Amino acid sequence: MTERNISMVVEFILLGFSELPSLQGFLFGIFLFIYTSILVGNGLIIVITKVTAALQTPMYFFLGNFSFLEICYTSVTIPRMLSDLWTQKKNISLPACAVQLGFLLSLGGSESFFLAVMAYDRYVAICKPLYYPLIMNPPKCLQLVSGAWIIGIPIQVAQTCQLFSLSFCGSNKLNHVFCDIPPLLKLACGDTSLNELSVYGGATIFVTFPALLILWSYSKIIKTILKLPSAMGRRKAFSTCSSHLIVVGLFYGSGFIAYFRPKSSHSPEVDKVLALFYTIVTPLFNPLIYTLRNRDVIIAIKQLVSK
């Protein structure tokens, strides 16, 4: 038998957008603008849902928490991306990579269930309006928000620990913009079939199950809206729900493509685009969608600015 020296990986090199060396400064400016917009836009929603008396309802309570979640979610990845683009030092240690992935998965799971909770809120408001104050009482809202925040932590932390219990040998070049499961599995040594199975299991729990709940809620909502006698009432109900549906489509659409498409069709370039879509685009458009399409929010912003 011959012995071979296997160099174990102690840190990764995040390649990011290294194939575009002439655009590093431009990309830094773009991502800085996006991150600032996310902080300002979602921060504004948090403020107006706290200080505006007309917005002290379950819908805006969920929206304020969702906006805070969006800030936390993007802060896991974008500051690191900005640092890499500015300093060109793209190395990240295994513990730092594990921490980033753990937060990313946990907050991503929370976002998925937050969207389901918000769909349930719209279902109760439109399909059972007389019972809405009774069902969506303050303790119930607090329970739903707390559950959405913490439901993903144990499973996603366990999945992260399982992934980083693998050995990484050979290349330490992670062809991605941040630490994510698919590119990490490509660098792992040995059999990763169990890890791949757990990825599909986690995606089923945190993507498929909430998506089915949302589809069920909106199937009931649409049936109820179509029965409304007033055209204006139908238009108002559709307008209220369409904002949430746009956010749902952006988040789940990219998530489904990223985690459920065949492994043979994976490519680093497509993975990077999809990752940016479900970690950056949705939080960026969230304030625009909920403000430009919501008359109550626009009025609250105007009142806040005038004060």
CATH at residue 258: 1.20.1070.10
CA atoms within 13 A on the CB side of 137: 4
The pTM for the full model equals 0.86
Q: How far is CA 238 from the centre of its chain?
A: 24
pLDDT at 248 over 70: yes
Reported as a single tens digit per residue, the pLDDT across 140-160 is 999 999 999 998 888 888 888
Kindly state the average pLDDT of the residues 95-100: 92
Percent of the chain clearing pLDDT 70 (strictly above):
87
The tally of domains found in the chain comes to 1
Question: Residue 245 domain-assigned?
Answer: yes
Question: Is residue 4 included in any domain, yes or no?
Answer: no
CB-based contacts of 300: which residues, under 8 Å, 6+ apart? Answer: 48, 52, 54, 55
Structural domain contains residue 5: no
Of 27-36, 80-89, 172-181, 201-210, the range with the lowest mean pLDDT is 201-210
Q: Does 247 reside within a domain? A: yes
- Domain range enclosing 33: 11-306
- Does 72 reside within a domain? yes
**Ranges of H-type helices in 9-57:** 24-51
